[in-house]
């Protein structure tokens, strides 16, 4: 029998009763809690009453509630262990904690001394993502020196996303409003088993045909966005020969694909705004530039005229006398040179303005109609993919000088596009 089992014997009413001291009972509880089944264990529960002490220690309770019972376990995590936790803790958070049960004698209670905390249910995948992040960073996939600027005036934009979701339509709407151009859609699954392989293949399939790529999907849970953390996707983005803009989930969602992309956008619509300019702003800027160049040319002409008048005044008969004839010839030569130079500069600036105007005209959809292209519509809506038509559909062809109604006989989808 150990010392804490040997209490003080006291006789009452003819019976001997063993009396323990407080310290003896505390030692007995401590001995019971030294059971190896209560040491170095994982426990799942909900954080409540979280308090962060000024010293850095964290005190909280781990709760469990069900239909027939509830339980609460007091927990303490010392500062050195708390500093290693890589997630923000908060009341109501479902967590997995690692530690050992111990007895706190000064207050006569048992508590869990926590050494590690992880979000419950997501711990393993979170750890996997952290390992991938370290590995891919070592490969240079996140190197900021590899980030490339986006083209100012792209003519072809690739979109890698699901062809059935609202994301694709949002991107089309923004681009058609801001700066109409051709989109090359490379469809892919964006969640589920094997989605990471499809995403990587979709990037490879379109990268040689466009000048910039938007990689996008709507919001979702950590599980939904998990394929965009996969090394296959990250390496495909890093090796892509053209800039990639990532727009994955909501603004608060961050995946490893975002770190590898050249530019990260908070939403798919914002990504579309980043890859194309606003044609209204471009036209306004060109108008301002044209006006500024015209004003500069007029100012130069005014200065040249003033200089010419000054030279003529200096070479007048009143000041030159016998050298009038020679000076007049010099003035004439100088005047001719100045006029030719000014005329040449004006012609050059006019050519530049004309070239800029031709570029704008070439990007005008009406110009494409005059060249023999047409706009295909179904029930007043522009058709951009064969997937939007079916045999028997009645369509309208918008030509340069009118419209033609037609009916679809056959639909052929090219799987390589």
CA separation (Å) from 180 to 158, 176, 183, 384, 387?
14, 4, 9, 12, 20
pLDDT at 321: 59
Task: Give Cβ neighbours of residue 315 (< 8 Å, ≥ 6 apart).
Answer: 324, 327, 328, 330, 331
Superfamily for the 125-277 domain? Succinyl-CoA synthetase domains (3.40.50.261)
Among 179, 389, 416, CA closest to 406: 389
pLDDT at 360: 73
pLDDT at 5: 46
pLDDT at 140: 94
What is the maximal distance between C-alpha atoms in the chain? 156
Is the torsion defined by CA of 146, 150, 154, 157 positive or negative? positive
Residue-level length of the chain: 417
Q: State the Cα torsion 172-176-178-180 to the nearest 10°.
A: 120
CATH class of 34-121: mainly beta
pLDDT in tens, the chain (417 residues): 444 444 445 555 556 667 766 677 667 777 776 777 888 888 888 888 899 998 999 999 988 755 455 788 889 999 999 988 877 888 878 888 899 888 877 877 888 899 998 877 555 677 788 889 999 999 999 999 999 999 989 999 999 999 988 899 999 999 999 988 889 999 999 998 899 999 999 999 999 999 999 999 988 878 889 899 999 999 999 999 999 999 998 887 889 999 999 999 999 999 999 999 888 777 777 777 787 888 888 888 888 888 888 877 776 666 655 575 666 777 778 878 888 888 888 888 888 888 777 777 666 666 667 777 788 888 878 888 888 888 988 888 888 788 888 898 888 877 665
Classify 67 in phi/psi space as left (phi over 0), alpha (psi -120 to 50) or beta: alpha
Among 251, 171, 160, 153, CA closest to 205: 160
* 95: its two tokens: 């967590």
Three-state SS string over 56-112 comes to CCEEEEEEEECCCCEEEEEEEECHHHHCCCCCCCCCCCEEEEEEEEEEEHHHCEEEE
Among 311, 415, 293, CA closest to 351: 293
Alpha-carbon Rg for the chain, nearest whole angstrom, is: 39
Q: Which helix (H) or strand (E) holds 8?
A: strand 8-12
Angle, to 10 degrees, between the axis of helix 268-275 and the axis of helix 166-178?
Answer: 30
pLDDT at 57: 92
Beta bridge partners of 110: 103
DSSP 318-370: HHHGGGHHHHHHHHHHHHHHHHHHHHHHHHHHHHHHHHHHHHHHHTSHHHHHH
* 122: its two tokens: 């997501």
């Amino acid at each position: 029998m150990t010392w804490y089992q040997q209490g003080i014997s006291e006789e009452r009413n003819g019976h001997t009763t063993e009396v323990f001291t407080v310290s003896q009972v505390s030692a007995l509880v401590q001995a019971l809690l030294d059971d190896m089944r209560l040491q170095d264990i994982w426990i799942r529960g909900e954080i409540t009453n979280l308090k962060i002490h000024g010293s850095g220690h964290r005190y909280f309770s781990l709760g469990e509630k069900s239909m027939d019972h509830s339980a609460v376990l007091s927990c303490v995590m010392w500062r050195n262990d708390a500093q290693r936790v890589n997630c923000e803790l908060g009341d109501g958070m479902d967590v997995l904690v690692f530690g050992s049960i111990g007895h706190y004698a000064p207050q006569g209670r048992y508590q869990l001394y926590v050494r590690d905390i992880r979000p419950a249910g997501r711990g393993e995948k979170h750890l996997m993502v952290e390992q991938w992040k370290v590995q891919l960073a070592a490969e240079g996939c996140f190197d900021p020196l590899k980030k490339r600027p986006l083209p100012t005036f792209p003519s072809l934009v690739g979109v890698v996303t699901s062809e059935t979701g609202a994301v694709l339509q949002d991107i089309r709407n923004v681009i058609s409003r801001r700066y109409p151009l051709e989109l090359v859609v490379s469809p892919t699954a964006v969640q589920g088993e094997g989605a990471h392989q499809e995403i990587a293949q979709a990037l490879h399939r379109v990268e040689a045909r466009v000048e910039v790529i938007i990689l996008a999907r709507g919001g979702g849970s950590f599980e939904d966005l998990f394929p965009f953390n996969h090394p296959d996707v990250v390496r495909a983005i890093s090796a892509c020969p053209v800039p990639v803009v990532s727009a994955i989930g909501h603004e608060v969602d961050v995946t490893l694909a975002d770190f590898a992309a050249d530019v990260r956008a908070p939403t798919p619509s914002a990504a579309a705004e980043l890859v194309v300019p606003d044609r209204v702003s471009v036209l306004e800027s060109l108008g301002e530039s044209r006006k500024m160049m015209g004003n500069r040319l007029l100012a130069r002409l005014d200065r040249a005229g003033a200089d010419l008048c000054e030279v003529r005044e200096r070479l007048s008969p009143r000041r030159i006398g016998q050298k009038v004839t020679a000076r007049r010839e010099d003035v004439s030569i100088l005047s001719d040179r100045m006029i030719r130079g000014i005329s040449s500069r004006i012609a050059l600036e006019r050519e530049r303005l004309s070239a800029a105007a031709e570029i704008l005209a070439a990007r005008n959809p009406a110009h494409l109609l005059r060249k023999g292209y047409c706009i295909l519509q179904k029930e007043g809506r522009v058709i951009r993919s064969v997937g939007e038509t079916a045999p028997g559909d009645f369509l309208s062809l918008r030509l340069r000088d009118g419209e033609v109604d037609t009916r679809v006989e056959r639909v052929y989808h090219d799987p390589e596009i």
